[in-house]
Amino acid sequence: MPESGRPAGGVVPAHGTGPAGEVDEVARAVLTASRLLLAVSARSLAEVEERLTLPQFRMLVVLSTRGATKLVVLAELLQVAPSTAMRMVDRLIAAGLADRRINPDNRRETRLTLTEEGRRVVGRVMARRREEVTGIVRRLAPEQRASLVEALTAFTEAGGEPPVPPLAQVTPARRTGAGDRTT
């Protein structure tokens, strides 16, 4: 071992201190948090699980946040083959949650959009998810909340994920699902 106390090549073991150890610690913390978030996501999808798979719901969320989208772009965003995206879209159209529309500016181009029912489904699931996440966040101290916002914002930006709109930007109809009964 060289005089610096580091192994040859300057690589720090993942369990130690230093850059590699810090990266491992962050990765473990993110993986642990992702287990919790996956559980929250699964519970929020419980009402629609007979109609939708998790990948199909992810497609609805992408359409919800991006608006009318070409199939090839949708496939890229979801990191699936265009043929896989097409099968998913076909199922969502059959379920009445998505629609294909001709681009009025380029009639050779088809864009995929959410139907009103698709928007309601996304709104209901996201409202349930927001409610559960809010309950967890309330258990954190204010300084932990501020640190979490900063860290998660940096993490999602590094991953290329668009932010969820603030609650004030979600219309009341989208919050509860337009036409849904609240009883």
CA–CA separation, 47 and 63 (whole Å)? 20
Number of domains present in the structure of the chain = 1
44 within domain boundaries: yes
CB count, 10 Å around CB of 120?
19
6 within domain boundaries: no
- The structure tokens listed for 9 are 């090549």
User: What domain range is 84 assigned to?
Assistant: 19-145
SS3 108: strand
pLDDT of residue 11: 40
pLDDT of residue 160: 87
10 within domain boundaries: no
24 within domain boundaries: yes
pLDDT of residue 169: 57
**Could you give the C-alpha distances from 51 to 45, 96, 97, 174, in angstroms and in order?**
10, 11, 10, 20
Whichever domain contains 101, its CATH number is 1.10.10.10
pLDDT of residue 10: 41
Q: Which residues pair with 111 in a beta bridge?
A: 101
CB-based contact 57:119 (threshold 8 Å): no
68 within domain boundaries: yes
pLDDT of residue 162: 80
Q: Average pLDDT for consecutive 10-residue bins of the chain (183 residues)?
A: 43 52 89 93 85 90 93 94 95 96 86 96 93 96 94 91 71 38 29
153 within domain boundaries: no
183 within domain boundaries: no
CA–CA separation, 169 and 49 (whole Å)? 27
pLDDT of residue 110: 87
